[in-house]
Amino acid sequence: MLTRVLFAVVLLFGLASAAWAEDAKVAALGLTDHVVTEDELAKGEALPQPKFNTPGVAYALVKNLKKGDAVEVVLTKDGASLMHNLREVDADGQTVLLLAGKSGVPAGGWPKGTYTAHVTVTRDGKTIAEQETDAIPFE
């Protein structure tokens, strides 16, 4: 009888810890024309796309991170990195909102081409999550 009880306790703790140890998840990724906040992303509304004469900001909201994870968001033009931001996580269970881009307009506007937001999450030197938006022109 004691063996069955111990087995049940071990099984329950195992299931609980497996649920707690979820992998990192990209909750939001995109490009917009302003600096975004977590509250704004939580609403789930579509954000305006950047244009050649507006700011251009790549954003990534990543959840279920662990201490030591690294999150990088990159604004690319025609596949080449324009701007990036990198952050190392300092606590388990943390959510990170990371932005890369310009909150102003480059002189003469954004150059013609297609732009993407790209996010990479690494843990112990290995990529555990990676995602990229569809390419869009800043018209």
Residue 60 falls inside a structural domain: yes
The residue among 61 and 9 whose pLDDT is bigger is: 61
Count how many residues are written for the chain. Answer: 139
Residue 39 lies inside a defined structural domain of this protein: yes
Average pLDDT over residues 31-39: 97
Model pLDDT, residue 8: 43
**What are the residues facing 96 on neighbouring strands?**
62
Residue with tokens 């140890």: 21
The CATH number of the domain holding residue 31 is 2.60.40.10
In a domain, 58, yes or no: yes
- Answer yes or no: is pLDDT of 54 > 60: yes
Residue 66 forms part of a structural domain: yes
Is the pLDDT at 129 greater than 90, yes or no?
yes
| Structural domain span for residue 83 | 22-137
Query: Any idea of the CA torsion for 47, 51, 57, 62, to the nearest 10 degrees?
Result: 40
Percent of the chain with pLDDT over 70: 85
Can you list the alpha helix ranges (DSSP code H) found in the chain?
2-20, 38-42
In a domain, 1, yes or no: no
Asked if residue 11 is part of any domain, the answer here is: no
H/E stretch holding 64 reads strand 56-65
| Residue 6, in any domain of the structure | no
Domain total in the chain: 1
